[in-house]
Amino acid sequence: MSYDAVLPKLAFLGPVGTYTHQAAYDRFGTSVEYCEQKTITDVFNAVSSDAPLALIPQENSTYGAVIETNDLLRLPMTGKDIFVVGETTLSIQHCLLVRRGVQLQQIENVLSHEQALGQCRNFISTNIPAASVVKMPSTSAAAQALLLPPTENRDPFKCAAICSSIVATIFNGLEVLREGIQDAEANFTRFYILSTTLAFEHVPPPKDASPKRALVRLSSSGMAAPGDMHSAPTITQLLIALKLSAIRIDRRPSSYLVPFHDVYLVELQQDLKDGDTEKSLHQAIKPQWISEVKAGLDRVKEIGGEAILLGVW
Ligand SMILES: O=C(O)C(=O)Cc1ccccc1
């Protein structure tokens, strides 16, 4: 009789060696089956009853929001339940990776994920100013592209990838030319853990306890025509009605055909109340926090706003 447990599947931005993969492994270790996806959108779309967990990058401490992630979260998730059920942060040190033997002065193209290219802007403009930057779906995919045969458009012996130094140990034939090339010494990326239900059980607790958080999507009513925008609730009115502490706000254009009609992705954090200690907050019961957030969303709806719960952790 076999006691092998069937592990839940976790979708991540692949191939192996991406920062998303490392962040996922730091949190989930061997408790899940890892399923690599080509893009952040593919990761999002992979979340299903077959793969109930996923990890996607959400923001970087130097380059800011991951737009692709915010744009996936801003759309009403019609017909599909995907919730943010946790967050995890990774310290990021980028390296410049090349085909073995390639020198800095030979590099004409620098390939990487948009975030990594943005986090190394000063390094590129100071050290390889003539190089063009090429956006790739992930840092590891950029490294893998260096191993492809030369084409009319791209000679891998004139290219470099920005990625984690771990990638040099995964793919043969590549070497690290420079290390620690990110513009800021302290460089962190925060990832969202996604799941099919708000109360998915297989998320290991974070190493450091943190207060309860939630992610909500707020907007004025999408039915407002351009002329009616003045009567629609403002972001200040929406936040006042919510009556919960907002710790981050990202603004993106809404999917409605009203120019400059925006949605706000608002991260909330549970407040300390009389008698609460930091410790009790960390141990706070999730259903109670969910009720507090839902009551806030109801208050937003009462003043004519749209409010949707995107996650609780
Ligand atoms: O491409 C990767 O490795 C990712 O996981 C996305 C990313 C890129 C750069 C910094 C953080 C996350």
138 ligand 1 Cβ < 6 A: yes
Asked if residue 22 has its Cβ within 6 Å of ligand 1, the reply is no
Closest among 145, 149, 143 to 170, alpha carbons compared: 143
Sign (positive or negative) of CA dihedral 127, 130, 133, 139: negative
* Ligand 1 atom closest to 141 (CA): 1
What is the distance in A from the centroid of ligand 1 to the CA of 204? 22
Mutational test site, ligand 1, from 20, 87, 181, max ligand atoms within 8 Å of CB = 20
Pair 47, 191 in one domain: yes
Give the dihedral sign, CA 137/139/144/149: positive
ipTM of predicted assembly, 2 dp:
0.97
Which CATH number does the domain housing residue 267 bear?
3.30.70.260
Task: State whether 119 and 65 are in the same domain.
Answer: no
Residues in contact with 108: Cβ distance below 8 Å, sequence separation at least 6, in sequence order: 130, 131, 132, 155, 158, 159
Domain-located, residue 272: yes
The type of residue at 101 is G
**Encoded tokens for 92:** 């990021």
101 within domain boundaries: yes
How far apart CA 228 and CA 244 sit, in angstroms, is 27
Do 147 and 79 reside in the same domain of the chain?
A: no
- Whether 284 maps to a domain, the answer reads yes
Q: Is residue 78 part of a domain?
A: yes
pTM: 0.92
CATH classification at residue 23? 3.40.190.10
Residues 287, 225 within the same domain:
yes
Query: For helices 235-242 and 286-302, what crossing angle results, to 10°?
Result: 140
User: Which residues face 109 on adjacent strands?
Assistant: 132, 159
- In this structure, what token pair is assigned to residue 294? 């839902």
Q: Are residues 130 and 274 in the same domain?
A: no
The answer on 308 and 234 residing in a single domain is yes
Instruction: Give the containing element (helix H, strand E) for 37.
Output: strand 33-37
**Are residues 160 and 298 located together in one domain of the fold?**
no
With a 6 A CB cut-off, is 57 part of the ligand 1 pocket?
A: yes
Q: Is the peptide bond before 15 cis (omega within 30 degrees of 0)?
A: yes
Residues 74 and 101 in one domain: no
CA distances from 201 to 167, 198, 204 (A): 31, 9, 8
Residue-wise over 133-169: b if at least 16 C-beta within 10 A, else e?
Answer: bbebbbbbbbbbbbeeeeeeebebeebbbbbbbbbbe
Residues 299 and 261 placed together within one structural domain of the fold = yes
Q: Is residue 206 part of a domain?
A: no
Distance CA 42, CA 72 (A): 11
Domain span holding position 75: 9-91+187-195
* Locus of tokens 């969303």: 297
Determine the Cα–Cα distance for residues 171 and 173; give it in Å rounded to an integer: 7
Residue ranges, the chain, pLDDT below 70? 1-4, 76-79, 222-230, 274-285
In this structure, are 219 and 158 located in the same domain?
no
The answer to whether position 46 is within a domain reads: yes
310 neighbors 265 (Cβ within 8 angstroms): yes
The pLDDT value recorded for residue 220 is 87
User: Is residue 13 within 8 Å of 21, Cβ to Cβ?
Assistant: yes
Our count of domains for the chain comes to 3
Q: Report the alpha-carbon distance of residue 227 to residue 61 in Å, rounded.
A: 38
235 C-alpha to center of ligand 1: Å? 31
Residues 114, 250 share a domain: no
Measured CA to CA, the distance from residue 160 to residue 179 in angstroms comes to 13
The Cα 88–Cα 80 span in angstroms is 24
Are 56 and 111 in a shared domain? no
